[in-house]
Amino acid sequence: MFGGRRLSINRHTGVPKPLQRRFSNVEPSANGQSGAHSHLALCHGDASSQTWPLFARSAAVASADRRLPPEIHSQIHRQFRNAHEGHMPHAGLDASRSSTGVVWCTERASEYGFLEEPESWANLGQGAPEVEDDIEGCFKRPETIDVSMAAREYGPTAGIRPLREAVAKLYNEMHRKGKDSLYTWENVAIVPGGRAGLIRIAAVLGNSYLSFFLPDYTAYNEMLSLFKNFAAIPVPLSEEDGYHIHPNKIVEEIARGTSVILTSNPRNPTGRVVANPELAEIQDICRGRATFISDEFYSGYNYTSNCDGTTISAAENVEDVDEDDVLIIDGLTKRFRLPGWRIAWILGPKEYISAIGSCGSYLDGGACHAFQDAAIPMLDPTLVQTEMVHLQRHFRDKRDFVVRRLREMGFVIKYVPDSTFYLWLNLEGLPESIADGLNFFQACLEEKVIVVPGIFFDLNPSRRRDLFDSPCHHFVRFSYGPRMDVLRKGLDGIERVVIKHRKSE
Q: Mean pLDDT score of the chain, rounded to an integer?
A: 87
Residues of the chain above pLDDT 70, percent: 83
pLDDT band at 77, cuts 50/70/90?
A: confident
What is the pTM assigned to this prediction?
Answer: 0.83
Which of 5-9, 156-160, 263-267, 422-426 has the weakest average pLDDT?
5-9
- Determine the Cα–Cα distance for residues 106 and 439; give it in Å rounded to an integer: 15
- Determine the Cα–Cα distance for residues 406 and 387; give it in Å rounded to an integer: 29
Residue 99 three-state SS: coil
Mean pLDDT throughout 52-59? 45
Mean pLDDT throughout 352-374? 97
pLDDT tens digits along 398-430: 999 999 999 999 999 999 999 999 999 999 999
User: CA–CA distance from 167 to each of 346, 414, 443, 503 (Å)?
Assistant: 9, 37, 44, 55
User: CA–CA distance from 34 to each of 37, 71, 203, 466, 467 (Å)?
Assistant: 9, 12, 44, 22, 21
pLDDT band at 312, cuts 50/70/90?
A: very high
Residue 425 in contact with residue 477, Cβ under 8 Å? yes
CB proximity list for 444: less than 8 A, separation 6 or greater: 450, 451, 493, 494, 497
**pLDDT at residue 51 in the model:** 42
Domains in the chain and their CATH numbers?
A: 7-83 (no CATH), 97-133+387-503 (3.90.1150.10), 150-381 (3.40.640.10)
Bridge partners of 449?
122
DSSP 341: G
pLDDT band at 96, cuts 50/70/90?
A: low
Mean pLDDT throughout 108-117? 96
Residue 400 in contact with residue 187, Cβ under 8 Å? no
What is the torsion angle, in degrees rounded to the nearest 10, for the CA atoms of residue 106, residue 108, residue 110 and residue 114?
A: -70
DSSP readout, 228-244? SSEEEEEEE--TTTTT-
Which of 126-135, 159-168, 467-476 has the weakest average pLDDT?
467-476
pLDDT tens digits along 442-480: 999 999 999 999 999 999 887 887 777 789 999 999 999
**pLDDT at residue 467 in the model:** 75
Bridge partners of 28?
34
Residue type, 77: H
Q: Is residue 124 classed exposed, middle or buried when 0-12, 13-18 and 19+ CB atoms within 10 A define those classes?
A: buried
Mean pLDDT throughout 146-163? 96
Residue 446 in contact with residue 493, Cβ under 8 Å? no
**pLDDT at residue 72 in the model:** 59
pLDDT of residue 63 exceeding 60, the answer is: no
pLDDT band at 89, cuts 50/70/90?
A: low
- Determine the Cα–Cα distance for residues 295 and 313; give it in Å rounded to an integer: 9
pLDDT tens digits along 7-36: 444 434 444 445 454 444 444 444 444 443
Residues of the chain above pLDDT 90, percent: 75
**pLDDT at residue 505 in the model:** 80
Convert 444-499 into a string of H (helix), E (strand) and C (coil).
HHCCCEECEEHHHHCCCHHHCCCCCCCCCCCEEEEECCCCHHHHHHHHHHHHHHHH
